[in-house]
Amino acid sequence: MLPIDIDAVKGFLDKDEGAALYEYALKASILGPCMEIGSYCGKSTVYLGSACQRAQTLLFAVDHHRGSEEHQLGEAYHDPALYDIEAQRMDSLREFRRTLARAHLEDTVVPIVAPSDLVARHWNTPLGLVFIDGGHSMEAALTDYRCWAPHVQRGGWLAIHDVFPNPEDGGRPPYEIWTLAQASGLFEALPLIKTLGLLRRL
Protein backbone atom coordinates (compact mmCIF):
# COMPACT_ATOMS: atom_id res chain seq x y z
CA MET A 1 0.00 0.00 0.00
CA LEU A 2 2.75 2.45 0.92
CA PRO A 3 5.77 3.29 -1.27
CA ILE A 4 8.30 3.51 1.61
CA ASP A 5 8.98 2.03 5.04
CA ILE A 6 6.65 4.17 7.14
CA ASP A 7 8.62 3.40 10.33
CA ALA A 8 11.55 5.34 8.85
CA VAL A 9 9.47 8.55 8.73
CA LYS A 10 9.51 10.77 11.82
CA GLY A 11 6.08 11.27 13.34
CA PHE A 12 3.48 10.16 15.86
CA LEU A 13 0.75 8.53 13.76
CA ASP A 14 -0.26 4.97 14.67
CA LYS A 15 -0.36 2.50 11.77
CA ASP A 16 -4.04 1.68 12.31
CA GLU A 17 -4.83 5.40 12.20
CA GLY A 18 -2.73 5.77 9.07
CA ALA A 19 -4.50 2.88 7.36
CA ALA A 20 -7.85 4.52 8.14
CA LEU A 21 -6.65 7.83 6.69
CA TYR A 22 -5.63 6.01 3.52
CA GLU A 23 -9.00 4.26 3.26
CA TYR A 24 -11.09 7.39 3.79
CA ALA A 25 -8.91 9.61 1.61
CA LEU A 26 -9.42 7.10 -1.19
CA LYS A 27 -13.20 7.35 -0.75
CA ALA A 28 -13.14 11.13 -0.36
CA SER A 29 -11.05 11.67 -3.48
CA ILE A 30 -14.14 10.97 -5.58
CA LEU A 31 -15.53 14.27 -4.29
CA GLY A 32 -12.43 16.42 -4.57
CA PRO A 33 -8.85 16.92 -3.41
CA CYS A 34 -7.78 16.35 0.19
CA MET A 35 -6.25 18.73 2.73
CA GLU A 36 -3.82 18.05 5.57
CA ILE A 37 -3.36 20.63 8.32
CA GLY A 38 -0.08 19.84 10.08
CA SER A 39 2.39 17.70 8.14
CA TYR A 40 5.50 17.69 10.37
CA CYS A 41 7.90 15.29 8.59
CA GLY A 42 5.28 13.63 6.42
CA LYS A 43 4.15 10.39 8.07
CA SER A 44 0.43 11.13 7.67
CA THR A 45 1.22 12.74 4.31
CA VAL A 46 2.46 9.41 2.97
CA TYR A 47 -0.82 7.68 3.87
CA LEU A 48 -3.02 10.47 2.54
CA GLY A 49 -0.84 11.22 -0.48
CA SER A 50 -0.62 7.58 -1.52
CA ALA A 51 -4.42 7.36 -1.56
CA CYS A 52 -4.69 10.61 -3.53
CA GLN A 53 -2.08 9.41 -5.99
CA ARG A 54 -4.01 6.19 -6.55
CA ALA A 55 -7.20 8.21 -7.08
CA GLN A 56 -5.38 10.66 -9.38
CA THR A 57 -6.15 13.70 -7.29
CA LEU A 58 -4.12 16.07 -5.09
CA LEU A 59 -3.28 16.43 -1.43
CA PHE A 60 -2.66 19.97 -0.18
CA ALA A 61 -0.36 19.89 2.86
CA VAL A 62 -0.44 23.03 5.01
CA ASP A 63 2.24 23.54 7.67
CA HIS A 64 4.45 26.47 8.67
CA HIS A 65 7.12 23.86 9.49
CA ARG A 66 8.24 25.74 12.61
CA GLY A 67 6.86 23.04 14.90
CA SER A 68 3.95 22.94 17.32
CA GLU A 69 4.24 24.01 20.95
CA GLU A 70 5.50 20.59 22.06
CA HIS A 71 8.29 20.55 19.41
CA GLN A 72 10.05 23.68 20.60
CA LEU A 73 13.45 23.78 22.26
CA GLY A 74 13.23 22.30 25.76
CA GLU A 75 9.77 20.76 25.24
CA ALA A 76 8.81 17.08 25.47
CA TYR A 77 8.79 16.29 21.73
CA HIS A 78 11.72 18.46 20.66
CA ASP A 79 13.91 16.81 17.98
CA PRO A 80 17.39 18.37 17.85
CA ALA A 81 17.85 17.08 14.28
CA LEU A 82 15.06 19.43 13.14
CA TYR A 83 16.43 22.51 14.88
CA ASP A 84 17.91 25.20 12.65
CA ILE A 85 20.79 26.53 14.75
CA GLU A 86 21.42 29.53 12.49
CA ALA A 87 17.78 30.65 12.57
CA GLN A 88 17.31 29.39 16.16
CA ARG A 89 13.97 27.92 15.14
CA MET A 90 12.46 24.54 14.33
CA ASP A 91 12.38 23.68 10.64
CA SER A 92 10.79 20.40 9.52
CA LEU A 93 10.45 21.43 5.85
CA ARG A 94 13.67 19.83 4.62
CA GLU A 95 12.79 16.49 6.23
CA PHE A 96 9.24 16.75 4.87
CA ARG A 97 10.54 17.27 1.33
CA ARG A 98 12.86 14.29 1.70
CA THR A 99 9.88 12.16 2.70
CA LEU A 100 7.93 13.25 -0.38
CA ALA A 101 10.86 12.45 -2.63
CA ARG A 102 11.44 9.01 -1.10
CA ALA A 103 7.73 8.22 -1.38
CA HIS A 104 7.51 9.46 -4.99
CA LEU A 105 4.71 11.83 -4.05
CA GLU A 106 6.08 15.09 -5.42
CA ASP A 107 3.56 14.98 -8.28
CA THR A 108 0.64 14.49 -5.87
CA VAL A 109 1.33 16.49 -2.70
CA VAL A 110 1.28 20.29 -2.87
CA PRO A 111 3.13 21.70 0.16
CA ILE A 112 1.84 25.06 1.39
CA VAL A 113 4.32 26.57 3.84
CA ALA A 114 2.23 28.99 5.89
CA PRO A 115 -0.04 29.16 8.95
CA SER A 116 -3.37 27.47 8.23
CA ASP A 117 -5.49 30.54 9.00
CA LEU A 118 -3.50 32.58 6.49
CA VAL A 119 -4.11 30.00 3.76
CA ALA A 120 -7.80 29.72 4.65
CA ARG A 121 -8.46 33.41 4.06
CA HIS A 122 -8.50 32.93 0.30
CA TRP A 123 -9.30 29.21 -0.01
CA ASN A 124 -12.19 28.45 -2.38
CA THR A 125 -11.69 24.83 -3.46
CA PRO A 126 -14.21 22.32 -2.03
CA LEU A 127 -12.45 19.39 -0.36
CA GLY A 128 -13.25 15.70 -0.09
CA LEU A 129 -11.37 15.28 3.19
CA VAL A 130 -9.71 17.55 5.73
CA PHE A 131 -7.29 16.07 8.26
CA ILE A 132 -6.54 18.29 11.27
CA ASP A 133 -3.31 17.54 13.13
CA GLY A 134 -1.76 20.96 13.70
CA GLY A 135 -1.06 22.76 16.95
CA HIS A 136 -2.75 21.24 19.99
CA SER A 137 -3.35 24.41 21.98
CA MET A 138 -7.02 25.37 22.27
CA GLU A 139 -6.48 28.43 20.11
CA ALA A 140 -4.67 26.51 17.36
CA ALA A 141 -7.15 23.62 17.29
CA LEU A 142 -10.19 25.91 17.22
CA THR A 143 -8.65 28.01 14.47
CA ASP A 144 -7.97 24.96 12.31
CA TYR A 145 -11.47 23.62 12.87
CA ARG A 146 -13.24 26.91 12.19
CA CYS A 147 -11.12 27.66 9.13
CA TRP A 148 -11.29 24.28 7.42
CA ALA A 149 -14.37 22.28 8.47
CA PRO A 150 -16.64 24.48 6.28
CA HIS A 151 -14.63 23.47 3.19
CA VAL A 152 -15.54 19.77 3.50
CA GLN A 153 -18.08 18.87 0.82
CA ARG A 154 -21.30 17.04 1.66
CA GLY A 155 -20.50 13.36 1.85
CA GLY A 156 -16.86 14.20 2.55
CA TRP A 157 -14.84 13.60 5.69
CA LEU A 158 -13.32 15.56 8.55
CA ALA A 159 -10.55 13.70 10.37
CA ILE A 160 -9.06 14.86 13.68
CA HIS A 161 -5.97 13.34 15.30
CA ASP A 162 -5.17 12.92 19.00
CA VAL A 163 -8.75 12.74 20.25
CA PHE A 164 -8.63 11.60 23.88
CA PRO A 165 -12.06 11.26 25.57
CA ASN A 166 -10.31 10.56 28.89
CA PRO A 167 -8.41 13.72 29.92
CA GLU A 168 -5.84 11.60 31.74
CA ASP A 169 -4.71 10.13 28.40
CA GLY A 170 -3.81 13.34 26.58
CA GLY A 171 -4.54 16.96 25.75
CA ARG A 172 -8.12 18.14 25.33
CA PRO A 173 -8.24 20.57 22.37
CA PRO A 174 -8.55 17.92 19.61
CA TYR A 175 -11.29 16.22 21.64
CA GLU A 176 -13.06 19.56 22.07
CA ILE A 177 -13.17 20.31 18.34
CA TRP A 178 -14.28 16.70 17.68
CA THR A 179 -17.26 17.29 19.99
CA LEU A 180 -17.91 20.72 18.44
CA ALA A 181 -18.12 19.13 15.00
CA GLN A 182 -20.76 16.70 16.23
CA ALA A 183 -22.71 19.42 18.03
CA SER A 184 -22.77 21.52 14.87
CA GLY A 185 -25.27 19.16 13.25
CA LEU A 186 -23.15 19.17 10.09
CA PHE A 187 -21.11 16.05 10.87
CA GLU A 188 -21.82 12.51 11.95
CA ALA A 189 -19.04 10.76 13.89
CA LEU A 190 -17.81 7.22 13.37
CA PRO A 191 -16.35 5.26 16.31
CA LEU A 192 -12.84 6.39 17.15
CA ILE A 193 -9.94 4.51 15.61
CA LYS A 194 -7.52 4.75 18.54
CA THR A 195 -7.10 8.55 18.69
CA LEU A 196 -8.36 9.28 15.18
CA GLY A 197 -11.81 10.86 14.96
CA LEU A 198 -13.59 10.52 11.60
CA LEU A 199 -16.73 12.52 10.87
CA ARG A 200 -18.84 12.49 7.71
CA ARG A 201 -20.25 15.76 6.41
CA LEU A 202 -24.05 15.48 6.18
Marked catalytic residue, from 64, 71, 136, 151: 136
- Dist. CA 72–CA 83, nearest whole Å: 9
Upper half-sphere CA count for residue 196 (Cβ side, 13 Å): 21
Instruction: State yes or no: is 136 an active-site residue.
Output: yes
DSSP codes, 13-80: --HHHHHHHHHHHHHHTTTS-EEEE--TTSHHHHHHHHHHHHHT--EEEE--SS--GGGSTTSTT--G
Which one-letter amino acid corresponds to residue 164? F
Would you please indicate which residues are annotated as catalytic (active-site) residues? 136
